[in-house]
Amino acid sequence: MVYDKIAAKLMSMSHEVWMRHANPWSGWTRVAMSPLWFLAIWSWVWIGWWALAPVSVLAVWTWLNPRVFRPYTDDTPWITRGVLGERIFMNRKSAPIPHEHLRMAHILSALAGVSLAGAIVGFVTANFWLALGGWLLAVTFKMWFVDRMVWLYEIMSKSVPEYQAWRTGPGHPI
């Protein structure tokens, strides 16, 4: 999948940045940005090219977000395990993941991509309901993907030494 490599390059996330991104505040504020992104993109209908202002602000915050929070100290929050699972997924070339998780990740990513394409058509044609429907479906599939990454983290963090070191909090102290 090429898109995950492109996203990784754009975000340029080191080990430390990933550990900060796994902080629940980072993960949940990223989720909370979804309606803001929708409104910022849709705002072109109301304010034309001035929509680049809120889009630019959100782009900067999207890049800064995983860098401004402290590293996580407890891996029990769902969103923390989801982010760590995404990191495991991105690292699948050096530590292969179970086929069923790879397959579902590809399916959910494809569904999110198709949904996002529908949203883009809605944005371009100023069809609010198509844009919103596509956007909501894309977010739904992304959250389902994150849920699968939680499952992947649970499996891989018990069997791969590098990932075992990420387990912190109650039940498995550092």
Asked whether the predicted pLDDT for residue 66 surpasses 90, the reply is yes
Nearest 5°: the CA angle 6, 154, 34 is 45
**What single-letter amino acid sits at 84?**
L
Q: What is the rounded CA–CA span in Å between residue 174 and residue 156?
A: 17
Confidence at 10, pLDDT banded by 50, 70, 90? low
pLDDT digits (tens, 9 = 90+) for 67-83: 999 999 999 999 999 99
Asked whether the predicted pLDDT for residue 127 surpasses 80, the reply is yes
Nearest 5°: the CA angle 167, 25, 163 is 20
pTM: 0.88
17: number of Cβ within 10 Å: 15
b/e code 157-167 from CB counts within 10 Å (16+ = b): beebeebeebb
pLDDT digits (tens, 9 = 90+) for 82-103: 999 999 999 999 999 999 999 9
What would the mean pLDDT of 2-14 be, rounded to a whole number? 63
Give yes or no for a contact between 153 and 88, defined as CB atoms under 8 angstroms apart. yes
pLDDT digits (tens, 9 = 90+) for 16-49: 999 999 999 999 999 999 999 999 999 999 999 9
Confidence at 172, pLDDT banded by 50, 70, 90? low
pLDDT at 174: 47
pLDDT digits (tens, 9 = 90+) for 40-63: 999 999 999 999 999 999 999 999
pLDDT at 11: 59
Asked whether the predicted pLDDT for residue 2 surpasses 60, the reply is no
